[in-house]
């Protein structure tokens, strides 16, 4: 590592956060050209791209801007092609920090060579969205248990119905598929609401806030206990359609489902069938197999579905938390210590 470390910012950023990174250490030189990003179109817009596509000349200039960095904050253009072009172009590059949590799939799609993967470390922002996603999961479970669909329907029809019983979260079982940081944050909140928490992960070991941890191989068997099924897993070859028709059929009739992981973990066709039959009573979905969700997808119109456009992790503190994580890792990098949230190309996350 050179005495001076150049960090180039590849996504829109406030001057306050640029200064925060600059103040990490006297050896850090931060390069940030606001002109490369015409302005955020919305809170948390990490693309900052023009309304129109960059011309070939503008793209070349953008990658020239990144060409001398030892560290790049943000995957260029948030595309695998941007990561591939960056790594191929910049031989000095040693570390790329992704502003999103699920960047592992992007690393795989970039098709980097073994030499490039050895030379350049990619880290993610996994964990910074755990609180926001956990709150969405609680919202989804409450919407299901309190029958939000029926409440809205009666309200729109100006109907005052007879008294009807609902099901409390207190005493219900929450089966969380994925017991990482997001799953743990959900389990913490679920327990506070009096729920029993079961976590599903590849390695069976105690995890805080879970009453029990079971292996992925037991998912179908233990699904029968779930009043609420919450998915937090990343999208990898091993997790694709892990929640399939058999798992959904094994659940209690009327189970409430939440997905804050990746859309590919759930077989969407099987889910639609289960929602129509009532086997799945409700679904609160922040992610989908294909995004944006196709305008003709039945999920838009099913009354027992909440469609969130992959924004559950977005809140006004997100950018600060990502910068805080990066600054902690930058101190580790300067000290020659292990970085947090390194992507393992073999695992895809």
Residues annotated as catalytic are 262, 291, 310
Q: How far apart are CA 81 and CA 97, in angstroms?
A: 16
Dig out the tokens for 329 from the structure.
């890792």
Residue 284 CB neighbours (<10 A): 26
- Report residue 250: phi and psi, to 5°: -75, -15
Q: Are 198 and 225 in contact (CB under 8 A)?
A: yes
Dig out the tokens for 89 from the structure.
């172009």
| Residue at token pair 């959900």 | 186
Query: How far is it between the farthest Cα atoms of the chain?
Result: 74
CA atoms within 13 A on the CB side of 207: 26
Q: Are 95 and 71 in contact (CB under 8 A)?
A: yes
- Helices 130-145 & 181-192 angle (0-180, nearest 10): 50
Nearest CA among 21, 20, 27 for reference residue 8: 21
């Amino acid at each position: 590592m050179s005495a001076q470390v150049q960090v180039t910012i590849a996504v829109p950023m406030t001057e306050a956060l640029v200064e925060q990174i600059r103040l990490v250490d006297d050896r850090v030189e931060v390069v940030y050209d606001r002109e490369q990003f015409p302005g955020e179109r919305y809170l948390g817009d990490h693309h900052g791209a023009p309304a129109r596509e960059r011309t070939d000349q503008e793209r070349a200039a953008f990658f020239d801007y990144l060409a001398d960095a030892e560290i790049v904050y943000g995957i260029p253009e948030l595309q695998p092609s941007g990561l591939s072009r960056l790594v191929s172009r910049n031989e000095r590059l040693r570390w790329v920090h992704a502003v999103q949590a699920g960047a592992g799939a992007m690393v795989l799609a970039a098709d980097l060579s073994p030499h490039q993967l050895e030379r350049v470390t990619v880290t993610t922002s996994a964990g910074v969205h755990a609180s926001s996603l956990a709150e969405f999961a609680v919202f989804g479970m409450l919407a299901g248990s309190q029958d939000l669909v029926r409440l809205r329907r009666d309200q729109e029809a100006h109907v005052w119905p007879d008294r009807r019983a609902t099901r409390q979260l207190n005493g219900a079982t929450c089966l969380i598929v994925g017991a990482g940081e997001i799953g743990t944050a959900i389990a913490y909140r679920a327990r506070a609401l009096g729920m029993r928490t079961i976590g599903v992960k590849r390695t069976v070991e105690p995890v805080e806030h879970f009453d029990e941890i079971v292996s992925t191989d037991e998912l179908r068997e233990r699904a029968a206990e779930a009043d609420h099924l919450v998915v937090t897993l990343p999208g990898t070859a091993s997790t694709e359609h892990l929640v399939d028709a058999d798992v959904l059929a094994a659940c209690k009739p009327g189970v409430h489902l939440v997905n804050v992981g990746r859309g590919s973990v759930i077989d969407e066709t099987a889910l639609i069938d289960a929602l129509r039959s009532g086997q799945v009573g409700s679904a609160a979905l922040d992610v989908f197999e294909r995004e944006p969700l196709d305008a003709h997808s039945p999920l838009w119109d099913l009354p027992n579905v909440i469609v969130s456009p992959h924004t559950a992790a977005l809140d006004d503190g997100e950018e600060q938390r990502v910068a805080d994580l990066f600054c902690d890792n930058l101190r580790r990098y300067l000290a020659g210590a292990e970085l947090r949230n390194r992507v393992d190309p073999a695992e895809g996350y």
